[in-house]
Structure 1
Amino acid sequence: MNNHIVDHPQVLITGAGPTGLTLAIDLARRNIPVRIIDQATAFFAGSRGDGIQPRTLEVFDDLGVLDAVRAAGAPAPVMRAYSGGEFAGEHRMAEPVEPTPAVPYPNLWVLGQSRTEAILRDRLAQFGVRVELATALVSFEQDETGVTAELAHDGSIETVRVAYLIGADGGRSTVRKTLGIPFEGNTDDSIRMLLGDVSANALDHDYGYWFAAVGHPMEGIALSPLPGGSQFQFGAPLSEDVEPSLEVLQQLVDQYSGNPDIVLTDLTWATVWRPNIRLAQRFREQRVFLAGDAAHVHPPTGGQGMNTGIQDAYNLGWKLAAALAGDESLLDSYESERQTVAARVLGISTELLDKLVDGHADAMDRGEQTRQLDISYRDPADQGVLVAGDRAPDAPLKDEAGQSIRLFDLFRGPHATVLSFGASNEHADQPGTERYEVIRPGDHSSGRYVVDVDGHAHAAYHAVPGTTVHIRPDGYIATAPAHRPD
């Protein structure tokens, strides 16, 4: 085998799912040389994580892929429930919520994971970076200045030297196992579900379906429409050890629906799922980091796993950029912030799974806790209304030309943002920070400004004249809103 060394990338990401792709985009748009590899020989083709939560939609807004995701996807469908083949009513997992000035994307958006990944790959390619398939991480060693990794591809071993290595390589993570980090939790082999993507005739693709056993409303099969075609994501319990196949799926449909007209075709993805609920003991070891399923594995209930991984990446990207620019102080906060969030989200997902298994009447209901808009990195001792670590709200504004814009338009990009509500006596901002004065109609400004026409920005940030708010590149409050002394 040939061996040669490459020394130009600063960050190596192993794993090209939503987590790895999000991180690669965030680094590439900061002009940080990055490589992203995946040992798979072809891109994943399946729906898997098909629910995109509101906070992730805000991340996608910042990364420049929201329009494509919204164009390709659809709102969560109304579910039609049947018992013993008889129509039993319609149900939504969550009632649609109207957008507000502070929360522009309040509802779940549905798009098969493989299509989300394709959109992220297209965006990454705009920065000149492409996923390297059939490339496996064989081993790595780190020292005080970097990581030396061996990659296998094309029958040869390549040695690459990078500043940081990111393991976004899933629940069986090579990176985590090499580091010897415990993956604490459990696998419940008593619960098995068959998941797959299939087409189904005789069903209206504008709706989802729940076919339940007579007298057992929580026992049955679900078919949820996937946008952009005729397929449904299929989910059903399995009581015996069988291989996922179209024939098995058809038998389950026949059993629970009682409708011989429903014929399944075009099985493009299938898997047997078992509850595997785990959290890595550490998310970092010196210059190596874990993100996504490599750090935490969730049950599918609540649609939290993919979204949590994407937000791991969004949290880590700007901190890696700061470290590469000479300030490594922020890197420690990645584990403290994201491990706490992952533990909380695992608790939510597990509680919803337990409700489903126990047959609770509200097991399919979803509310505020799954939207991830309330995730905060605040100090638990801080009981303020809006404090450091909280999500920075959106608000409609007018720019200097009188055009309608939003706070999210000001935040978009790799920079930090400072909002000064009225004139500020603060010193000049650090490089990579953009400052705006937020003024009311009729007020004047000596610097770059936006107009809070309807007062929504002042209300969202509880601002008075002299309030200054620093906002991190990932859209969270960096410092509590400060008020200028009179």
Structure 2
Amino acid sequence: MTPHRVLVAGAGPVGLVAAAALAAEGIPVLVIEAERDLPDGLRASTFHPPTLDMLQRFGVVEAMVEQGLVCPTWQFRDRAAGPVATFDHAMIAGDTGHPYRLQCEQWRLTRLLRDRLAADPQVEFLYDARAAEVAQDSDGVTLTVERPDGTREPLRGAWLVGADGARSAVRKSLGIGFEGETIPELYLTLSTPFPFHDHVEELTNIAYISDPDEWFVLLRTASLWRVLLPTDANEPEEYMLSDARIEERMQQVLPTAAPYEIRHRTAYRVHERVADRYVAGRVLLAGDAAHVNNPLGGMGMNGGIHDALNLAEKLAQVWRGADPALLGRYERQRQKVAREVVQQQALRNRALLNQKDPATRQAFLDDLRATADDPARHRAHLLRTSMIQSLRDLEAVA
């Protein structure tokens, strides 16, 4: 007998949003997490306006705003010349209930959702259980999980949502292709309490700094500034992450009399990949399990949350008797966004920041400046970069 429930592999933002949306439809859910508790690493921190609009239904946005940092504006800068174009979300106030980006670490959202779900008797959590392999038949899905001591346990459900990250065991177990490319440089992310806003003229809380030799990104959260630096992948990790090397690079970002206090440091490879399929029988992929991209523009986690809500809406209809073919539209819609919006915008951002040809680079910057200065283009740019336009365009995907 197949337990009358949906299995959700992964308790990150995507998995927990999917679980919350399914539970709101009266569907029993078992959330399976590989770690002993919810992950709390410093990963994504940017929430776009339509994502906040979507999360409003769960009663968590007010707390996120209290814990995070509201950022009405963001900008592109030239490392030598300063601000090039500043974009103001007030231009799209009529298109969203949250005309700003919210800088709030993703772990804050997952804990708020878990607190909400803990009161729902239809939702169970299973920790210390790493997804290992998947089998399915016409009646349901069996997810085999592995415990820390090496023992394995089969879990049965009617459907499985694979939200278990870029290295998804769910995706791999089903043999679903994950083609794409790997960006040649590593991304080094550092967090510091240093108040860049007090030392850099006209700096907004989110700033992309273009430079032909070394671009970087500054992102402010409620308590820290995060600095993203491209890094030569051939640089030995022990040297790259050493105090001396990090101090050298931070002094290049902004020279200071005193050394920088670094609270967190991590380096990671960046990929641009999209799964061949998001739907395989009774298994549905979402978030990083379905698509990964570079973080420039903050679209990865947001796109994953959009996946989760799109998926949950359609799965709820199927749960109540609709044709399972409806889930094919989920795949078509969300693959389109991953390929044509998220990846392309992230690649455009990287190309702009990293452009070395002086004429091409100047043309890029001039076009950005002209976009910010023209109200119609300014608004259209914000609709696209905030992901509102991609959600509107999905309605045309059959």
| Cα distance, 1:282 vs structure 2 | 0.8
Select which of 201, 207, 219 maps to 2:214. Answer: 219
Please name the residue that 1:254 is paired with. 251
1:257-310 deviation per Cα after TM superposition (whole angstroms, max 9, x unaligned): 22232522322xx32233310111111111011111111111111111111100
CA offsets per residue over residues 147-191 of structure 1, 9 Å max, x none?
Answer: 1222223644322211111111111111111111111111122x2
Higher-helix-fraction structure:
2
Tell me which amino acid in the other structure corresponds to 2:261. Answer: L
Unmatched segments (≥5 aa) in structure 1: 1-5, 380-388, 391-475, 479-486
Q: 1:278 aligns with which of 273, 277, 293?
A: 273
Unpaired segments ≥5 residues, structure 2:
369-380
- The answer to whether the 8 A contact 1:202-1:262 is kept is no
Range with bigger deviation, 71-80 or 164-173: 71-80
Aligned partner of 2:241 in structure 1 is 245
In structure 1, what is the Cα distance between the partners aligned to 2:300 and 2:90?
Answer: 22
* Aligned equivalent of 2:22, options 21, 27, 44: 27
Query: Structure 1 residue 334 and structure 2 residue 330: aligned?
Result: yes
SS of match in other structure, 2:323 = coil
Equivalent residues, number: 368
Query: Aligned runs of 1:168-247 on 2, under 5 Å?
Result: 168-189=163-184, 191-200=185-194, 204=198, 208=205, 216=211, 219-227=214-222, 229=223, 231-239=224-232, 240-243=234-237, 245=241, 247=243
- 1:98 Cα deviation (Å)? 4.8
1:396 equivalent in structure 2:
none
Deviation of 1:200 (Å):
2.6
Q: Deviations over 1:109-151 (max 9, x none)?
A: 2212222322232233232435433211122210111012222
- In structure 2, what is the Cα distance between the partners aligned to 1:70 and 1:353? 29
- Normalising to structure 2: TM-score of the pair? 0.81
Contact 1:78–1:90, Cα closer than 8 Å, also in 2: no
Q: SS state of the match for residue 387, structure 2?
A: coil
The 1:277/1:82 distance shift into structure 2, 3 A limit, reads closer
What residue identity is the alignment partner of 1:148? T
- Judging by fraction of residues, say which structure has more strand: 1
Asked if 1 retains the 8 angstrom alpha-carbon contact of 2:75 and 2:208, the reply is no
Partner deviation per Cα, 1:426-456 (whole Å, 9 max, x = no partner): xxxxxxxxxxxxxxxxxxxxxxxxxxxxxxx
SS at match of 1:166: strand
**Matching residue's letter, 1:350:** L
2:340 counterpart (338, 344, 347) = 344
The question of 1:136 aligning with 2:130 is answered yes
| Secondary structure of residue in 2 paired with 1:119 | helix
Q: What code does the residue aligned with 2:334 have? A: R
> Taking structure 1 as reference, are residues 217 and 210 closer, same or farther at Cα in structure 2, changes over 3 Å only?
farther
Distance 1:147 1:199, change over 3 A: same
Q: Does 1:374 align with 2:385?
A: no
| Residue 221 of structure 1: how far off its partner (Å) | 4.0
Q: Tell me the equivalent position of 1:147.
A: 141
Q: AA paired with 1:355?
A: L
**Residues in 2 aligned to 1:103 and 1:80: alpha-carbon distance in whole angstroms:** 23
Q: Residues 182, 82 of structure 1: CA spacing in aligned structure 2 closer, same or farther, 3 A cutoff? A: closer
Structure with max Cα Rg? 1
Q: Distance in 2 between matches of 1:139 and 1:54?
A: 36
- Asked if structure 2 preserves the Cα contact closer than 8 Å seen for 1:147 and 1:165, the reply is yes
Contact 2:209–2:353, Cα closer than 8 Å, also in 1: no
Does 1 or 2 have the higher relative contact order (CA < 8 Å, sep 6+)? 2
Residue pair 1:208, 1:222 contacting (<8 A) in 2 also: no
Give 1:437-452 correspondences, 5 Å limit.
Answer: none
1:110 corresponds in structure 2 to 103
Q: Tell me, in whole angstroms, the C-alpha distance in 2 between the residues paired with 1:106 and 1:334.
A: 27
| CA distance in structure 1 between the aligned counterparts of 2:257 and 2:217, rounded to whole angstroms | 17
Question: In structure 2, the residue corresponding to 1:322 is in which secondary structure?
Answer: helix
Q: CA deviation at 1:46?
A: 3.4
Whole-angstrom CA distance in 1 between matches of 2:174 and 2:273: 17
Q: Could you tell me how far 1:107 is from its partner in structure 2? A: 2.5
Q: Is the 8 A contact 1:278 1:298 kept in 2?
A: yes
The amino acid that maps onto 1:152 is E
Q: Which residue of 2 is the match for residue 465 of structure 1?
A: none
1:309 to 304, 307, 311: 304
- In the other structure, the counterpart of 1:318 is 313
- Displacement of 1:11 in angstroms is 0.7
User: What SS does the corresponding residue of 1:349 show, helix, strand or coil?
Assistant: helix
Structure 2 Cα separation of the partners of residues 377 and 81 of structure 1:
29
How far did 1:207 drift? 5.6
1:233 Cα deviation from its structure 2 partner: 1.2
Deviation, 1:202, is 7.7
Contact 1:30/1:321 (<8 A) preserved: yes
Where does residue 376 of structure 2 map in the other structure?
none
What do you get for the CA RMSD once the two structures are aligned?
Answer: 3.2
Alignment of 1:61 onto 2:56 = yes
Task: State how far apart, in whole Å, the 2-side matches of 1:106 and 1:210 are.
Answer: 17
CA distance in structure 2 between the aligned counterparts of 1:146 and 1:40, rounded to whole angstroms: 25
Instruction: Confirm whether residue 94 of structure 1 aligns to residue 91 of structure 2.
Output: no
Give matches, 1:78-93, under 5 Å.
Answer: 89-90=82-83, 93=86
**What is the identity percentage for the equivalent residue pairs of Structure 1 and Structure 2?**
31
Q: TM-score, normalised by structure 1?
A: 0.68
- How has the CA–CA distance of structure 1 residues 376 and 200 changed in structure 2, closer, same or farther, with 3 Å as cutoff? closer
Contact 1:201 1:262 in 2 (8 A): no
Asked if 1:126 is matched to 2:119, the reply is yes
Mapped contact 1:94–1:367 kept (Cα < 8 A): yes
Q: Quick one: which amino acid aligns to residue 153 of structure 1?
A: R
Q: 1:203 to 1:23 in 2, by over 3 A?
A: same
CA distance in 1, matches of 2:148, 2:268: 32
